[in-house]
Structure 1
Amino acid sequence: MANSSDTIPQFRKSGGGDGQSVSLTNLSAFSGGIGVKSMAEVLAILAVAVVIVGGVEASLRLFEVPHYIMPPPSAIFRALVTEFPLIAPHLGHTLVELFAGFAIGASVGLVLAAVVTQFPFAEKVIAPYILLLVTTPMLALVPLLILRFGFGYEPRIIAVALASGPMVMINSATGFRRVDSAKIALARSYGASTLQIFWKIRAPMALPMILVGLMIGAIFGLLTAVGAEMVGGGFGLGNRLTTYSSMIQMPQFFAVVLILSILGILIYTTFFLIGKKWASWET
């Protein structure tokens, strides 16, 4: 019988759990997931949002806080609507950097995770460099990358790939290892090869942890892309942040921050729903 360390990570469809599952919702306090099941829950969420936004709006107006310090939510939403035609092209640039860098980093991370799982010697060689990438802030390398590749997409895409790849690799390697050893032993007894075991047993059972790694890597990639745009370059949402802050246009500044928050929520929601659909199996 497999011990507790070999318990297969899983996505639970219900809010309950046995304390041994690994899911996207375990990364936050919302163990019940992101879905709502009744109109009452929808109304409760909207009521809380109205109270928070309305309270902030009333407090800022009551204490007459200047807009250049903290604009009220109404001014932020107004700026989001009026400035969005100007912000939209920069949003497109940021998405290009995120998708391209994340695709490269995630692909390399998955390959390295598979390699270190199958070949322990490779892990000893690769692990120190992965640790170095994880502990090194990629934004510190952006100026060097700009000197080499210029102010275009290349340095930003490279920074995003370097930030997201290790996250994908670490979580994927953990998933590849957290499988039921009894199933692997049974497959070997039937003559399955190492490659067959990997594709038929390790990869499907590792899918929940792979999705967790992809989600974390995408979020790290978004943060790195915005940071790289703030360091250098004339386009992207990060560039808009530095421009609006230097011109003390705080409603526009917080409108860009709101867009970035929405992008982060979309990343989380996308991978959560993928996990619910494709990795909702149970042990």
Structure 2
Amino acid sequence: MADGAAGLTNMSALSGGGARTSAEAFTIVLTAIIVIGALETSLRWFEVPAYVLPTPSSVAAALWTEFPSIAPHLGYTLIELFSGFAIGAGIGLILAAVITQFPFAEKIIAPYILVLVTTPMLALVPLLILRFGFGFEPRIIAVALAAGPMVMINAATGFRRVDSAKIALARSYGASTLQIFWKIRAPMALPMILVGLMIGAIFGLLTAVGAEMVGGGFGLGNRLTTYSSMIDMPEFFAVILILSALGILIYSFFVLVGKKWASWEL
């Protein structure tokens, strides 16, 4: 990839390195203030009903007043996300290692991974609820099924993107297959592994919220369904704001890890 090109491995199209100077930081903050202020003014000027689109100030007020009641549901969603992501990512990494070391295994596993990637996990949630009830189990399973294939595909791609000369040199010195994997393949695959983990975490968050909207009495997705049914749009958008913040935190976390451990150029 050419220097400066947009891509997942360097993330330059999205981050651009962040605010490197105080002037850049001021410009970013000022732009946000102008956009929010213009939206607030427009909605008030045209007298748009709150049940259609609430003003940013009413959303902020709802977030402040309702957060104590939303916070437990945020905790439930995070439990589902972390548990399902840990399971799915762990299995995905193991499968990626297996199919890169044993090509025949890929022919067996690939069709099932393709089915998981192309099947909306929310379509399986009602079946999981019938089997496991309305607790955490069906949601955690759905998150794992959504995150695992993303991690596996990207990790397998990374494991294959190795310098064959380095592997040949290592073999000439008597390195075993396991040593080559841990000393050469895994370090060189780390950028793609982190990309897969980031995408898997974001997909997991979306799946967790969607599963909560399908069934169950807790979680941020349940709050979205409840507020929309009661036409409490400020509270509804307050939950949307929390979910957006979670997505940004996930992205920022993996960007920081990538810069430190995988030489992501931002």
> What is the TM-score with the length of structure 1 in the denominator?
0.91
Q: TM-score, normalised by structure 2?
A: 0.96
For the residues of structure 1 that align with 2:204 and 2:180, how far apart are their CA atoms? 32
Instruction: Call closer, same or farther: CA 1:262–1:117 in 2, change over 3 Å.
Output: same
Residue of structure 1 aligned with 2:199, choices 202, 213, 216: 216
The equivalences for 1:47-62 within 5 A come to 47-62=30-45
Instruction: Report matched runs for 1:105-184 at 5 Å.
Output: 105-184=88-167
Contact 1:76 1:252 in 2 (8 A): yes
Change (3 A) 1:58 1:253: same
Map 1:60-71; keep pairs closer than 5 Å: 60-71=43-54
Aligned residues: 265
Residues 51-106 of structure 1 show CA distances to partners (whole Å, capped at 9, x for unaligned) of 11001000000000000100000000000000000000000000000000000000
1:22 Cα offset (Å): 5.6
Report the Cα offset of residue 17 of structure 1.
2.0
In 2, the alpha carbon distance for the partners of 1:159 and 1:241 equals: 19
Partners of 1:262 and 1:276 lie apart in 2 by 21
Q: Tell me the equivalent position of 2:84.
A: 101
1:20 deviates by: 10
Q: How far apart, CA to CA, are the structure 2 residues paired with 1:236 and 1:281? A: 34
What secondary structure sits across from 1:71 in the alignment? coil
- In structure 1, the residue matched to 2:16 is 32
CA distance in 1 between counterparts of 2:114 and 2:190 reads: 23
* CA RMSD, 1 decimal: 1.6
Q: Which amino acid aligns with 1:200?
A: K
**Cα distance in 1 between the residues matched to 2:39 and 2:120:** 34
Conservation of the 8 A alpha-carbon contact between 2:191 and 2:264: no
Matching residue within 222, 227, 233 for 2:210: 227
Query: Is residue 187–residue 197 contact of structure 1 (8 Å, CA) maintained in 2?
Result: yes
- The residue aligned with 1:89 is 72
Task: Give the 3 Å change call, closer, same or farther, for CA 57–20 of structure 1 in structure 2.
Answer: closer
1:11 maps to: none
The whole-number CA distance in structure 1 between the counterparts of 2:50 and 2:3 is 46
CA distance in 2, matches of 1:269, 1:87: 23
Question: Counterpart of 2:11 in structure 1: which amino acid?
Answer: T
CA contact (8 A) 2:258 2:264 kept: no
Of residues 231, 234, 240, the one that matches 1:251 is: 234
Which secondary structure state, in structure 2, belongs to the residue aligned with residue 148 of structure 1?
helix
| Structure 1 counterpart of 2:263 | 280
Within 2, Cα distance between the matches of 1:278 and 1:267? 16
Is the contact between residue 212 and residue 219 of structure 2 (CA under 8 Å) also seen in structure 1? yes
Q: Which runs of 5+ in 2 are unaligned?
A: none
Please say if residues 22 and 208 of structure 1, whose CA atoms lie closer than 8 Å, have aligned partners that are also in contact: no
Deviation at 1:19, TM superposition (A): 5.0
> Paired residue for 1:10?
none
Displacement of 1:24 after TM fit?
Answer: 5.0
Contact 1:24/1:212 (<8 A) preserved: no
- Is 1:237 aligned to 2:220, yes or no? yes
| Change in 2 beyond 3 A, CA 1:222/1:65 | same
One-letter amino acid matched to 2:14: F
- Measured against aligned partners, the alpha-carbon deviations of 1:148-196 in whole angstroms (never above 9, x if no partner) come to 0000000000000000000000000000000111111111111111110
Distance 1:178 1:74, change over 3 A: same
Deviation at 1:126, TM superposition (A): 0.2
Q: Distance in 2 between matches of 1:56 and 1:185?
A: 60
Question: 1: distance between equivalents of 2:35 and 2:140?
Answer: 37
Hey, what does 1:44 align to over in structure 2?
Answer: 27
* CA distance, structure 1, for counterparts of residue 233 and residue 139 of structure 2: 26
Q: Which runs of 5+ in 1 are unaligned?
A: 1-6, 8-15
1:32, distance to aligned residue in structure 2 (A): 1.9
**Alpha-carbon contact 2:10-2:264 (below 8 Å) kept:** no
